[in-house]
């Protein structure tokens, strides 16, 4: 049961509240659909009646689906509900993979063996599910021959054509030319 410490759940951090769920007296709807603590649907009733049922059981009335018509409220122990919800979110976060963009830098006068080493590194990144940005950097007199060096990036993409596709075609950005490769979908 949420008692005197209840306002502490609604501390402000960075402009938003810790809890975005409405509980007990915060629920101002005329009618709500109520689900009991054991998962049984009790039907549609006024928020006051639902609150009385929750108080009789010594539990809290929590609005779990505010956008439904009428809103869905459940009779639960609020602290336990928040803990379970946080645990589910943490599990979901563990299972997701954040796609990173790995960068491979080269110069226009790269040798074939060096190119193969860079291709192998890119294959490793792509197999892990990351995107690869291949950058060709130009310095000094190399700037005069930018367009004739485009074939290096094309050869790089061709070497990885079995595992990757070109997401962004080669493009000149200042003193460099780059393209982005991403995993080939089967």
Region at 100 (left for phi over 0; alpha for psi -120 to 50; beta for the rest): beta
List the alpha helices (DSSP H) in 21-145.
Answer: 47-57, 78-95, 112-127
pTM over 0.75: no
**What count of other Cβ atoms lies within 10 Å of the Cβ of residue 82?**
17
Does residue 173 fall inside a structural domain?
yes
In the listed set 42, 65, 94, which residue is the last one of a domain according to the structure? 94
Same domain, 106 and 147: yes
Same domain, 65 and 130: no
In the listed set 94, 123, 144, which residue is the last one of a domain according to the structure? 94
Same domain, 115 and 146: yes
Answer yes or no: are the C-beta atoms of 24 and 52 closer than 8 Å: no
User: What six digits make up the tokens of 105?
Assistant: 């830098």
Mean pLDDT of 159-164: 91
Please give the pLDDT value at position 98. 77
Q: pLDDT tens-digit profile of 7-54?
A: 444 443 333 333 577 888 788 888 889 988 888 888 888 888 888 888
Same domain, 59 and 122: no
Domain that holds residue 153: 101-183
Does residue 169 fall inside a structural domain?
yes
d(CA 17, CA 26) in angstroms, rounded, equals 14
Please give the pLDDT value at position 118. 93
* DSSP string computed for 110-163: --HHHHHHHHHHHHHHHHTT-EEEEEEE--GGGGGGTGGGHHHHHHHHHHTTTT
Share of the chain above pLDDT 70, in %: 89
**Cα-only R_g, the chain:** 29
Structural domains of the chain, count: 2
């Amino acid at each position: 049961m949420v008692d005197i410490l209840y306002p502490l759940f609604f501390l402000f951090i960075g402009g938003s509240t810790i809890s975005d769920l409405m509980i007990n007296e915060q629920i101002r709807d005329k009618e709500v659909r109520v689900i009991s603590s054991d998962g049984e649907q009790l039907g549609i009733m006024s928020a006051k009646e639902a609150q009385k049922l929750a108080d009789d059981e010594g539990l809290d009335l929590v609005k779990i689906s505010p956008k439904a018509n009428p809103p869905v409220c459940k009779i639960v122990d609020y602290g336990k509900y928040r803990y379970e919800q946080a645990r589910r979110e943490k599990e979901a976060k563990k299972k997701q993979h954040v796609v990173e963009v790995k960068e491979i830098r080269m110069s226009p006068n790269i040798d074939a063996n060096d190119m193969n080493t860079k291709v192998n590194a890119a294959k490793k990144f792509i197999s892990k599910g990351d995107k690869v940005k291949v950058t060709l950097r130009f310095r000094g007199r190399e700037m005069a021959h930018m367009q004739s060096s485009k074939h290096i990036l094309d050869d790089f993409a061709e070497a990885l054509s079995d595992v990757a596709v070109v997401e962004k075609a080669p493009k000149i950005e200042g003193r460099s030319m780059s393209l982005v490769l991403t995993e080939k979908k089967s």
